[in-house]
């Protein structure tokens, strides 16, 4: 893969960091407000945008072999599988008396 020797321009790095810092401020800001059930979704949404920026530019996924993206997403996918089955189990279980 010759594309692995791609040099990302300096100003892109600077822009990405600025965006990440702005998003961090945004994370803190929205945490002070109450959106009801959307609180978690908004917080995780912003975090995912930040993560995507890190992945695409700092970790060069945008320019690199797409196999790496597949590997990364596979990991995330199986994590979601683990979560969904466990969550489905706990939601549909007959409620028991918790000690708490």
Q: Are 46 and 21 in contact (CB under 8 A)?
A: no
C-alpha–C-alpha distance, residues 22 and 62, integer Å? 21
Least distance in angstroms from the C-beta of 94 to another protein: 8
Put residue 65 in one of left, alpha, beta given phi > 0 → left and psi -120 to 50 → alpha. Answer: beta
Site residues, another protein (CB under 8 A): 1-2, 4-5, 7-8, 10, 13-14, 16-17, 20-21, 24, 27-28, 31, 34, 39-40, 43-44, 46-47, 50-51, 54-55, 57-59, 64-65, 67-68, 71-72, 74-76, 78-79, 81-83, 85-94, 98-100
């Amino acid at each position: 893969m010759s594309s692995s020797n791609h040099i990302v321009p300096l100003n892109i790095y600077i822009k990405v960091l600025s965006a990440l810092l702005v998003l961090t401020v945004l994370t803190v800001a929205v945490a002070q407000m109450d959106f009801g059930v959307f609180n978690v979704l908004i917080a995780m949404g912003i975090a995912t945008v930040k993560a995507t920026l890190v992945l695409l530019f700092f970790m060069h996924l945008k320019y690199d072999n797409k196999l790496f993206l597949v590997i990364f997403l596979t990991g995330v996918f199986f994590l979601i599988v683990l979560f969904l089955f466990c969550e489905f189990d706990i939601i549909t279980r007959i409620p028991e008396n918790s000690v708490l």
